[in-house]
Amino acid sequence: MSDSSQNAAAPVPSGLEVRHIQTRVVQRTIDGKTVDVVEPVLDEHGREIVLSSVTVPLAIEAEGAKEIAMHVAETLAYREAKASTPTSSTVPTADEGDES
């Protein structure tokens, strides 16, 4: 069985992204009490500042939450290792294509 849109040549996009954003702790007064609140840091356009982003393929998303978390952790670990060893001869994996 095929999705109707397979007659289009474009690659199948994934619809799940897991990201980390820049945050800061600010003090707010709620119900008369001063509490620490975590809030996103925004850029000059009012957008959140994304520190890392991993796009999860649909095939992995379909396997379940544990597999999603594992994929995200492995992708971030791979990127970190790659960034710290720029001359590494590690063979790139499919995960390398994820945008950050």
Partner 1 sequence: MNEATKLAVLLGLTGKLEGSYGAGGALLPATDGILLAELADLNEAFVFDGQRKAPPGTFGTQKRVPPLGSYVEFTGKTEPRGLGLAYGASALHPEHVLMRISGHDAVVTATPGAEKIEYTPQAGPNGFASAVLGGYSRGSLWNLLAAYADWTWTIDGPGIPLNEWAIKALFTSVADAGVPAITYPAANVDPPSAANILFTIGGVATLSVKKAQFKQNRTISQRLNINAGGHGGFNIGRRNPTFTVTIEEPATATYDARTKKRTHAVEALSLQVGSVQYNRDKFTAPNAQLIDVKPSAENEVATLDLTYELQPSTLGANDEYKRTVD
Q: Does 33 bind partner 1 (CB under 8 A)?
A: no
CA dist 7 and 19 (Å) reads: 31
CA dist 98 and 53 (Å) reads: 8
Q: Binding residue for partner 1 (CB under 8 A) from 28, 35, 39, 88?
A: 39
Instruction: Give the shortest CB-49-to-partner 1 separation in angstroms.
Output: 11
Q: For partner 1, which is the closer residue by CB, 65 or 91?
A: 65
Q: Binding residue for partner 1 (CB under 8 A) from 29, 32, 33, 38?
A: 38
Q: Does 77 bind partner 1 (CB under 8 A)?
A: no
Residues 70, 76, 78: CA angle, nearest 5 degrees: 100
CA dist 75 and 84 (Å) reads: 14
Strands of the chain, DSSP E: 16-21, 23-30, 33-40, 50-56
Specify the stretch interacting with partner 1 by CB under 8 A; choose among 56-64, 82-90, 91-99: 56-64
Compute how many other C-beta atoms are within 10 angstroms of the C-beta atom of residue 29: 8
Residues that bind partner 1 (CB under 8 A): 1-6, 8, 10, 12-21, 23, 25, 38-40, 48, 51, 56, 58-59, 61-66, 68-69, 72-73
